[in-house]
Chain A
Amino acid sequence: MTTDLFARFPPRRGRVHEACGPAAPAFAALCAAHTPGTVIWVRPAWGSDALNPLGLSAFLDPARLLLAQVRNQTDGLASMEEALRDGALPLVVTELTEPLDLTAGRRLQLAAQAGGSTGLCLIPEGMGSNAAETRWRCTPVYAPDDSTLQRWALIKNKSGTPEAWHVGWEAETRRLHVVSPPGERPGAAAPSG
């Protein structure tokens, strides 16, 4: 039987976590929503897609977000390490485009432990680092009555077992809720995996 999502969900502080899949930005936004204080989001400046603060405002106040535009991944990782080690910002989100090697992953992990901040890497599929504490695969799921349904699969967990939840989001109350698996939901196409 699955455990409570909220035993896992705001991911453990002082660690670096990873999220992949099409809904990974939403996962990061939800992490930020569950974190008090300012959040920094490190992203490559050359990326064509932009975060939309109006879309973000369904999750958190965009004024709480700092955006760091970096030229390359080295700069991005250095910024992330610096921010994690400093600990002034409780959550550091980084969009990665290249795979992390073990050294880089471990350095981030150590920095997060030193500063007590949470790190979250948004990675392309299959580019995870072994040093990550947890890895989440987030995919949007179609449901006839819910426009926010997502499937969050915990595909790597250093201190537990892989699991999966279906979650929905209520924008009015800004509340995350776990819903029943889609097999019991009429009309919803069952996702693979």
Chain B
Amino acid sequence: MWFPRLASDRALRRHPVEGPFALILAQGGAERIYCLNREAGRRGLHPGMSHTDARAFCPELRSRPADPQGDEWFLHALRRWATRYCPWVGIEEDQGLVLDVSGATHLFGGEEAMLSDMRQRLMRTGLEVRLGCADTRGGAWALAHHGEGIAPPGELLSALEALPVAALRLEAKTVTALQRLGLRRIGELEAAARAPLARRFGMELLRRLDCAMGRQPEPVTPLSDPPHYGVRMALPDPIGLQEDVMEGVSRLLDRLCDKLKRREEGARVLRLTLRRVDMEAQSVDLRLARPLRDPARILPLFARGVGEVEAGFGIDLLRLEALRVDRLPARQVAHVSSDRDDRMDDLISRLGTRIGLENIQRFQPLDSHIPERAFTLAPAAWSEPEGPWYSLRPRPLRLFPPEPVTPLGATPLRADTPRPEGRRTAPPPPDGERDRREHLLAASGAAPAGDRRDPAPRPTLGAREAGAGAAALPREVPTPGATRLPEEAPAPTLSAAPSAAPPGNATRGSLPTAGARESGTGAAVGTMEMTAPASARRPAEARAPAPSSDEEPPAPASHVPAPHSDVTRPTPQGGRPPRCFRWRRMRLTTARATGPERITPEWWLEDDNWRSGLRDYWMVETEEGRRLWLFYTPQAPGWFVQGEFP
């Protein structure tokens, strides 16, 4: 049984079209004709032709995109249909069926009658078919593809000898070669000496020939029906009460679950279809958190869906089908029952019927330094809890999309600038001051110039840490200690940093060391704790610099040239969180900042949120209590809040 135009016949069955018609499939960057109807074939089109050529030949060509997957399903449906003739039906290539009708023909009144019955039925459905019937599979193929007909039993050779050699299912190359040798018909090939043929063309040719002639067996491989998990119940009288429907469902479930149990499978998706007297069908879908085949557990999950069904004049047909099944091997029942897990799965299924099963999720760890990509949410029904969860640094409890903060009045520079007055942060600064600040801001954002270098934008770890040191330096420095710095550490290096710190430096938590670099994937992370002295946080003496001098030692390492005076002191204020800022309409004052922790973007992934380049994260504890996770983007200067600590 060969369907030469299966795909286009199928497409035309659904939407009939007059005139030439073709199905188009994109192959190798060009749209080519996949299958066409008889009318189009008559105009000189052929499969494999490009669509544009075909349109040039035949301007009135109608076309649709091809669907090879759907054609395959259609062929399988045809295979199932063909089992009405005989039980052994297999699929032959992608456009044919092979039926082993031995012993079945008399049921239809002989081979002739059977073939005409097939032809009639298929023509009625609009499918073009070529039928061939022979003692062997190869012979039937040859007859179906090259001149239809029936080879009477025992006279195979006479039926086949006039057919071209291509009817033997040979490669095109072999066929051409045979034709050049003058062997055009199967009869001629059969008459030729076998040994030279085998030497010239290999065993394949002779094998095909023997298969067609019946000297070598070629069995039909029937496909088995996939297990079908569907049960139905027709009722003599329509029912309308919810309890009645549930009772019916319970009986159907018993039958379905028996089937599932025999195959050690569990239902994942169930569909209950209720047909009303007026032939209106309503369905209730149930998705389960775990594969289940226990009727007692599944039945209550249907209650909600059944309650929403409109019964109308009554329901007279119930149909229950498992749309998806998963393996569920039999398990040893332990005397310590895992009742709790089962109850939780049931609860997830039940919540899933209301809010959608994929909306019940659990966290799964991912390997990434990017805070928002360090985890993923997976539907709980299709995942297992995973772990462990590592975080080397404290992470905020809540994350939100970065929100810009507005630094207020006192930038770090302002906080550092020695002032005779106690509190000069809130009022706007005089113009000269503002100019200078803006200038410095610009300097920190742009490429570092002269001695006002801001090392922060440099992407290397060493430079960053030095930058942090530099950032730390002017924060508390308007002290004699700071001016001593150049003599103490004229050529500061990273390794010199911890040793330069006096032992009394209790508030300086962890200095950046090589260990601060996390092994891994491109995120260089270091943390430096910078704790302002307690006295400096008191509002009354907040920005008075003098009291801090005895507690804060001179910052040890810096690439920044030594400060010579307060005015020209380089202040890479980009590196330090603003003293005072506004976030979500709240005015917050930084009391303690821990950081920075530099996280570089993952260059191998495109992420618009990380366009602004690397980020220096700070945990900022405010005097108001809120503990925020701020970051600074040195490559596009700006401060953002991304999370909140508890």
Contacts and interface: CB of A to CB of B under 8 A. Distances in A.
A and B interact = yes
Interface of A: 22-23, 25-26, 29, 37-38, 45, 48-58, 61-71, 75, 78-79, 82-83, 86-89, 139-142, 144, 147-148, 150, 169, 171, 186-187, 189, 191
Nearest to B376: A53
B346 A88 contact: yes
Given A22-B625, A68-B361, A82-B350, 14 more contacts: A22-B626, A26-B397, A49-B398, A50-B400, A56-B363, A61-B388, A63-B386, A79-B351, A82-B351, A87-B343, A142-B622, A142-B625, A147-B621, A186-B534
B395 interface: yes
B355 interface: yes
A46 B531 CA distance: 38
A70 B537 CA distance: 43
A15 B594 CA distance: 40
A52 B359 contact: no
B385 interface: yes
A50 B351 contact: no
B391 A68 contact: no
B398 A82 contact: no
B375 interface: yes
B346 to A, nearest CB: 7
B387 interface: yes
B343 A52 contact: no
Contacts of A57: 389-391, 395
B292 to A, nearest CB: 16
A89 B344 contact: yes
8 contacts: A38-B344, A54-B371, A54-B395, A55-B394, A68-B355, A82-B354, A86-B347, A147-B627
A53 B534 contact: no
B407 interface: no
A22 B644 CA distance: 9
B362 interface: yes
B361 A55 contact: no
Nearest to B401: A48
A55 B348 contact: no
A148 B389 CA distance: 20
Contacts of B622: 142
Contacts of B399: 49-52, 55
Interface in B359-414: 359-363, 365, 371-372, 374-375, 377, 380, 385-391, 394-401
A24 to B, nearest CB: 10
A93 B591 CA distance: 32
Interface of B: 340, 343-344, 346-348, 350-351, 354-355, 359-363, 365, 371-372, 374-375, 377, 380, 385-391, 394-401, 531, 534-535, 537-539, 591-592, 594, 619, 621-627, 643-646
Nearest to B624: A142
A132 to B, nearest CB: 22
Contact of A88 (B344, B386, B395, B400): B344
Contacts of B361: 66-69
A148 B399 CA distance: 17
Given A66-B361, A75-B355, A88-B343, A51 B397 contact: yes
Contacts of A64: 385
Dominant secondary structure of chain B at its interface with chain A: mixed
Contacts of B350: 82, 86
Nearest to B388: A61
Contact of A144 (B354, B363, B592, B644): B592
Contacts of B391: 54-55, 57-58
A157 to B, nearest CB: 23
A153 to B, nearest CB: 13
A142 B621 contact: yes
Contact of A67 (B344, B363, B371, B594): B363
Contacts of B397: 25-26, 29, 51-52, 55-56
Contact of A83 (B351, B386, B387, B643): B351
Given A54-B374, A82-B347, A191 B625 contact: yes
Q: Which of B350, B359, B394, B396 has the most CB of A within 10 A?
A: B359
Contact of A53 (B346, B354, B375, B644): B375
A40 to B, nearest CB: 8
A89 B166 CA distance: 70
Contacts of A87: 343
A169 B578 CA distance: 27
B351 A63 contact: no
Contacts of A150: 646
B626 A71 contact: no
B537 A139 contact: no
Nearest to A169: B646
Contact of B398 (A50, A63, A66, A88): A50
A66 B355 CA distance: 14
Nearest to A151: B625
Q: Which of A22, A25, A65 has the most CB of B within 10 A?
A: A22
B385 A69 contact: no
A66 B374 contact: no
Contact of B623 (A51, A53, A79, A142): A142
B387 A61 contact: yes
A23 B170 CA distance: 77
A140 B354 contact: no
Contacts of B360: 66-69
A49 B644 CA distance: 10
B365 A53 contact: yes
A48 B360 CA distance: 18
A76 to B, nearest CB: 8
A146 B398 CA distance: 19
B354 A79 contact: yes
A82 B355 CA distance: 12
Contacts of B395: 52, 54-55, 57-58
Contacts of A187: 534-535, 537-538
A55 B643 contact: yes
Nearest to B365: A53
A144 B535 CA distance: 10
Given A63-B363, A67-B362, A88 B646 contact: no
Contacts of A88: 340, 343-344, 346-347
Contacts of B538: 187
Contact of B389 (A61, A70, A79, A169): A61
Contacts of A67: 360-363, 377
